Structure 1
Amino acid sequence: MIEAGSREWVRATLALSLGSFLVFLNLYQTHPLLPLIAQVFSVSSLSASWTLAGCTAGLASALLLCAKLADRYGRRQIMLVTLTLAILLSLLISLVGEFYLLLLLRFLQGALLAGLPATAIAYMGEEFDQRGLISAVGIYIAANSLGGIAGRVLSGLLAGWFGDWQHAFIGIGLFSLLLLPIVFRLLPRQTHFVAVSSQRGQFTQALFQHLTNPLLVAAYLIGGLNFMVFLNQFSYLTFLLASPPFSLPIQWLGMLFLTYLAGTLASCLSGRATHRFGSERMLLSGIILMALGTLLLLHGSLLAIFIALLIASFGFFLAHACASGWVGQHVAQHRALASSLYLVAYYLGASLGGMYLHPFWQQGGVTGLVLGIELVLGITAMLSIGLARLKLSRHPVG
């Protein structure tokens, strides 16, 4: 097994983190462009949001297939092939002139982007020792947030400079192609992977096993519900800040996502904090921070919104690192499938969150948005408390 801090651990963690960076760089590039896309294609804010929600839906829909293929053919091959195709698709999307084609290709791109997230945690679980796994997951998720930040900021800058959304896809596609060979070179070949034969009913049996394990299901729900409200609050806030009295240009809308840097810090600290205080405590702490940060949105000033998103980002990524790491620690077989089920819930939440928050936004603006978010966080807080009690009942202290 690869030990934490070893040369192979550094190579593998760097490769997976860079690959993750590229996934989220391409996934979130339309986020600051939503007001511009709504204007260019003459569609509503909810329709424009599907250029992001459709991509996350494509990702969610392909995760189980990618996990199944990875269990049979190997993690490394699936990660590298799907990532390459997804990056090439960014360049193709820049040529699209019809809104329905934009949505269709973004869905397809999301499906291809599923390859790495579906298998990366499973790769770590098989190749790393326990300490190496926990530490690597935190760094890997930090790379998620950095990729999300870079995709949003860079696309906002490119769209602002060139005056259209197409150059955002061109720039991000070319930048991704420059970094992709580093992932190929650094990612070690697997030494502990054992192919799972495609025996009839085995996949269904494994699926049933994971979905009836309350230690896993609670983590799936927490991850999905948290992301449902966290991601989509940014979508509605871009429309708020693009309108009077703020009237921020698209370049500055992209800068809003620099608040994700707080999440990057939280992800990096999550491994050490989990070792010291336990996954359950840190999971609940992250949710509480999200709830407190969201309340600050009610102040209404630009500074308050920025601080609110910093706090919420720190809390969200702390909770996400704990929940995804929890899945890796509490499954012995079919790791890729278990991790993929977490991500299915996670990205399904992202896809549905816009529709969930839309009536709150229409009826109450920012106040309604905060109400909708806090209702969901109350549910995930109770689930995290239940998760801690369930673990204690199964593994009592002393």
Structure 2
Amino acid sequence: MHRATPPLSDNAPPAPAAPVWIKRGTPEYRRVSLALFLAGFATFSLLYCVQPLLPELARTFAVSPAQSALALSVSTACLAVSIVLAGALSEGLGRRKLMFISMALAALCNLLASFLPQWHALLAARALEGILLGGVPAVAMAYLSEEIDPKGLGFAMGLYVGGTALGGMLGRVGMSAMTEFWGWRQALAALSVMDLAAALGFVWLLPNSRNFIKKSGLGARYHLQAWGQHLRHPGLPLLFLIAFGLMGVFVSIYNYAGFLLGVAPYHMGQLQISHIFYAYLFGIVASPVAGGLADRLGRGPVLIAGTLLMAAGLVLTLFEPLAAVVAGIVLLTAGFFVAHSVASGWVGRLATQAKGHASSLYLWGYYMGSSVLGAGAGWFWSRWGWSGVGSVALLVLALVLALAWRVQQLAARQAAACAS
């Protein structure tokens, strides 16, 4: 599906003729997988630790449900912007160093947020944290696509996404449990210390890049050319839009599920509501499995299947019985991690150069979806309740399916052209 394009710049250094791949099954592969697992864990636990606290924040600071969602949305919005810049910065600074600095400083910023007494000060700290975290996700995707043998890339990317699932789950469930017993401020501080330790473990485990070529003296023109090349690609922009829709739906459902389960007919407490985040266990399992299936069966069918699974789960949540709501959230979570692990890995395969720039554009769409749809769903919640949130989410998933089908068509045509 990729069209041949000229080099981005006459001054850009050539890629290595024979990359030294890290192969699946080797000790280095296991070290990389564990390090990136820790990176995914720290990033998502820091980013989403406030999600189960939204009802608590609304009460503490006397703000509306939609306003409380800003504690998450300002972080993801700032992350969406900084992630694009971080992908470019990593081309000159290096992957490993930038990821470690970002993780450590974000953990310290989250620790600071736990002590702030005013709502707007907390939002400012969360915004800064989002800016700092931009140095992890796009760079992690680029590192994997550069260093891991393509035959094992899908599985390694799935493990990284599985780490994000575990971080998301433990960040939310752990925050709810600690909040129940200690209070939300103490819980936020404890999680920050744990993620600082994860950053130290990450930098100790991750090997230095072998295939990365540091590019110095790159100006704005080089970066604009790199982003422009990816946006002109026939398939990559569709994957960026898919990321927007997938993450937007996922965050919208989890943002307002706490409000849904806290009122009639459920009347569940904070700790009880947090148990829905155990659905992330299915995401942890589904991500590497989906990556392995994509390596064998092709990315298009697995991406479409994951999106359909999300839609089926979403429909179940529209029924009133608690069992149906819980089962629906489980299916939606598994489907999301299947679809996201495949789409994110596909970006690394389609982008033949400037992979950090391509990953950053994918994740810009991913986190903008979290910010725009995650906060915007509050408008539907305030007017039509859960049925309003679910209806708009189903509409977005229908658009994602159409885009995924189009990417699959383009891939099939490209494969046929190469075979002829």
Shorter-normalised TM-score: what interval? over 0.9
Give TM-score scaled by structure 1 length. 0.97
> Cα offset for 1:150?
0.6
- In the other structure, the counterpart of 1:166 is 185
- Is the aligned partner of 1:287 residue 2:307? yes
Of 197, 202, 219, 1:183 maps to: 202
Structure 1 residues 199 and 173 mapped into 2: Cα distance closer, same or farther (>3 Å)?
closer
- In the other structure, the counterpart of 1:262 is 282
- In the other structure, the counterpart of 2:130 is 110
1:172-199 Cα shifts (integer Å, max 9, x gaps): 0122233332212111011211012314
Please show how residues 264-343 of structure 1 align to structure 2 within 5 Å: 264-343=284-363
Aligned mates of 1:9, 1:95 — CA distance in 2: 40
- In the other structure, the counterpart of 2:153 is 133
Secondary structure (helix, strand or coil) at the match of 1:115 reads coil
Is 262-271 or 194-203 further displaced after alignment?
194-203
- In the other structure, the counterpart of 1:212 is 232
Aligned mates of 2:57, 2:374 — CA distance in 1: 16
Structure 1 residues 248 and 127 mapped into 2: Cα distance closer, same or farther (>3 Å)?
same
Aligned mates of 2:285, 2:214 — CA distance in 1: 36
- In the other structure, the counterpart of 2:144 is 124
> Cα offset for 1:51?
0.4
> Cα offset for 1:359?
3.4
Aligned mates of 2:27, 2:375 — CA distance in 1: 46
Please give the root-mean-square deviation of Cα atoms over the aligned residues, in Å.
1.3
Of 382, 394, 401, 1:381 maps to: 401
Which amino acid is the alignment partner of residue 81 of structure 1?
Answer: I
> Cα offset for 1:211?
1.0
Whether the 8 Å contact between 2:73 and 2:370 is mirrored in structure 1 is yes
Please show how residues 70-85 of structure 1 align to structure 2 within 5 Å: 70-85=90-105
Aligned mates of 2:328, 2:220 — CA distance in 1: 50
Whether the 8 Å contact between 1:127 and 1:192 is mirrored in structure 2 is yes
Of 212, 215, 219, 1:196 maps to: 215
Aligned mates of 1:225, 1:180 — CA distance in 2: 30
Whether the 8 Å contact between 1:215 and 1:390 is mirrored in structure 2 is yes
Aligned mates of 2:91, 2:203 — CA distance in 1: 20
Whether the 8 Å contact between 1:22 and 1:176 is mirrored in structure 2 is yes
Give TM-score scaled by structure 2 length. 0.92
> Cα offset for 1:200?
5.0
% identical equivalent positions: 35
Which amino acid is the alignment partner of residue 310 of structure 1?
Answer: V
Show structure 2 runs of 5+ residues with no match: 1-20
- Is the aligned partner of 1:149 residue 2:169? yes
Whether the 8 Å contact between 1:263 and 1:314 is mirrored in structure 2 is yes
- Is the aligned partner of 1:38 residue 2:77? no
Which amino acid is the alignment partner of residue 159 of structure 2?
Answer: I
Show structure 1 runs of 5+ residues with no match: none
